[in-house]
Amino acid sequence: EVSEMAERSRRNVAHGLAWSYYIGYLKIVLPRLRKSLEEFSRANPSRLPRRETWKVHILVPLSCDIPDDLEKADSNIQYLTDLTETTLTKGGIKNRVYKHSLYAIRDEDNKPWHCVLEFATPLQSLYAMSQDACAAFSREERLEQAKIFYRTLEEILRGSKECRGTYRLIAYQEPAAETEPHFLAREVLWHLRQQCHEEYALGDATPDANLPTSLGTTELDLQISQEELPLSLRSDLF
């Protein structure tokens, strides 16, 4: 009965997508990321000078609307190259390829900041479900599921020793494209600068008055009711 109630309310959708994303992708690629970045940095020493940003920056748009081309989404984001591929045999697929793309994010002074950037692709499933009459996801339900996905993924990664220090989740709500054409680039830049500040602050307790004090360029309301949160599988939390 509990399972049927959960299925009717669709509370398990985002929870399952987050776990699948972690087990089937992030847990595979993130532990190998540092080696790929070190290889690239040796060959291109000027491209990745800030080691504190050597992470996969995972974009989590709460609208779940994911464009395939980041450069078309924001002209201040420019594709540079791909990092070294990881080739594995998985699920009967021989030599399955996993790779990350490196981008240059242009700031207000047209200065490039380089980072590995990609979308959380499972959100495409949530968006597709909201467009399919069989799933009958409303816009409000999709937003709630996106929040649950973010919160669940954040909790999973926080507890993963293999992925520690290899990722940065960037959740945001998009404004109208015509009013904020470079919103996405600014959002990523804020997180890149914040990481540099966090690394700097470890050795110097003096706050920098020029750095932002807010949680981000967008004030996100990620609060969801306790009833909607997926239950933890760990027994030591009770």
Question: Do the domain assignments include residue 126?
Answer: yes
Question: Do the domain assignments include residue 138?
Answer: yes
pTM: 0.80
Instruction: Please report the pLDDT score of residue 137 as a whole number.
Output: 74
Question: Do the domain assignments include residue 39?
Answer: yes
What's the structural domain count of the chain?
1
Question: Do the domain assignments include residue 150?
Answer: yes
Q: Is the pLDDT of residue 193 over 90?
A: yes
Q: Are 149 and 120 in contact (CB under 8 A)?
A: yes
Question: Do the domain assignments include residue 179?
Answer: yes
Residue positions counted in the chain: 238
The Cα 133–Cα 125 span in angstroms is 14
Helices (H), 77-226: 123-131, 139-158, 183-201
Which pair of structure tokens corresponds to residue 39? 């290889």
Average pLDDT of the chain to the nearest whole number: 80
Question: pLDDT, tens digit, for every residue of 32-72?
Answer: 999 999 999 888 887 877 888 999 999 999 999 999 999 99
- Provide the residue range defining the domain that includes 67: 30-203
Instruction: Please report the pLDDT score of residue 229 as a whole number.
Output: 45
Question: pLDDT, tens digit, for every residue of 78-96?
Answer: 999 999 888 888 888 888 8
Name the band, by pLDDT with cuts 50, 70 and 90, for residue 129: confident
Question: Do the domain assignments include residue 123?
Answer: yes
The Cα 218–Cα 238 span in angstroms is 33
Which pair of structure tokens corresponds to residue 210? 């020029």
The Cα 129–Cα 122 span in angstroms is 11
Least confident of 38-52, 60-74, 128-142, 176-190: 128-142
CATH number at 38 reads 3.40.50.12100
Instruction: Please report the pLDDT score of residue 131 as a whole number.
Output: 79
Question: pLDDT, tens digit, for every residue of 102-125?
Answer: 999 999 999 999 999 999 999 999
Question: Do the domain assignments include residue 115?
Answer: yes
In a 13 Å sphere around the CA of 149, the CA atoms on its Cβ side amount to 34
Question: Do the domain assignments include residue 22?
Answer: no
The Cα 29–Cα 24 span in angstroms is 9
